[in-house]
Amino acid sequence: MTEPDYTAIAYETRDRKAYITLNRPERLNAINDQLPFEIASAVARANDDDDVRVIVIQGAGDSFCAGYDLKQYAEQDAEHGRWQQTDPWDPVRDYRQMRKNTDAFFTLWRSLKPTIAKVRGYAIAGGSDIALCADILVMAEDARIGYPPARVWGCPTTAMWVYRLGAQRAKRMLLTGDTITGVEAEEWGLALEAVPEPELDSAVEALADRMSGMPTNQLVMQKMMINQAYDNMGLSSTQTLATFFDGITRHSAEGDWFKRFAERDGFHAAVAWRDSGALIPDGGGDLPTEDESGEVAATRGWTAQK
């Protein structure tokens, strides 16, 4: 059988474990068009391999995943026009595209074999969607996870925050767009464990090795039983709502405001404003002045792009 020609991930197996590595380190493993479907392909491959009992998903380099690679779309949307504001906007077309990505990420949750996310650096925005689809998260203490686009231009399509944290802490995260460290994620129960970064690889290996000693059928049945409880809580319908809402956030008046901001000053400057806690006006309205934008971007180590 011909092995898949992956461009956005790497795949390997050893000692009853499969390793899926998000492999765009020059972009902090940001999500491009290929990455969701290559994850799904690799998960299916691991499930079909009788020698694999546990799947580990990780990022190459210093980060897990910094979210969608949206710079070109936010600033000009030069390629394909998929994320461009349209008149009239077709929400079902938008939903179909984003639901494909959501379902691809969710193969980690639906995988019959257990999945572990090894998180170092950043797992933010769409990167947190991927990490939270794994059965178990193990994080470096100084890693950061969160969904900053909850402030504007995004809704987490996998909808896993509430199922992981409960209503109050999910609201704490999504009504602020804040990120938390691995230490805080462990305290909240979002991560199973947070360890010093140099110990992350060995901690994940120890857990995966412990699991991989169990028969595959036992692993599958225990996981299916637990996941069924979440299905009974309405997980699928929540994801449908979240994925529609994600499209709306990019086409609301505030979403248009954010895109105009990015087109004028650059995506990083717009993100710096979003993440700083500065006012995002209801109904969009006027952009901040270029001087105001530059000051906020400078405090976050970015220079506004003219």
In tens, the pLDDT along 66-105 reads 999 987 677 765 555 555 556 788 999 999 999 999 999 9
Q: Write the single-letter amino acid at 60.
A: A
209 and 191 together in one domain:
yes
**Boundary-marking domain end, from 208, 230, 248:** 248
Is 184 among the domain residues?
A: yes
135 and 161 together in one domain:
yes
Is 2 among the domain residues?
A: no
293 and 170 together in one domain:
no
Whole-angstrom CA distances from 99 to 37, 194, 211, 223 are 12, 31, 31, 24
Contacts of 112 (CB under 8 A, 6+ apart): 47, 219, 220, 223, 224
What is the pLDDT confidence band of residue 64, given thresholds at 50, 70 and 90?
A: very high
- Partnered with residue 19 across adjacent β-strands are 12, 56
Whole-angstrom CA distances from 151 to 30, 71, 169, 179, 255 are 19, 17, 16, 12, 10
What is the pLDDT confidence band of residue 306, given thresholds at 50, 70 and 90?
A: very low
Count of structural domains, the chain: 2
Is 67 among the domain residues?
A: yes
Mean pLDDT score of the chain, rounded to an integer?
Answer: 93
191 and 259 together in one domain:
no
pLDDT of res. 87: 72
Taking the C-alpha atoms of residue 65 and residue 122, their distance in angstroms, rounded to an integer, is 6
> How long, in residues, is the chain?
306
Q: Write the single-letter amino acid at 251.
A: H
From the centroid of its chain, how far is CA 280? 23
Is 306 among the domain residues?
A: no
Indicate whether 1 pLDDT > 60. Answer: no
Is 1 among the domain residues?
A: no
Is 101 among the domain residues?
A: yes
pTM of the full predicted structure? 0.94
Structural domain harbouring 164: 9-248
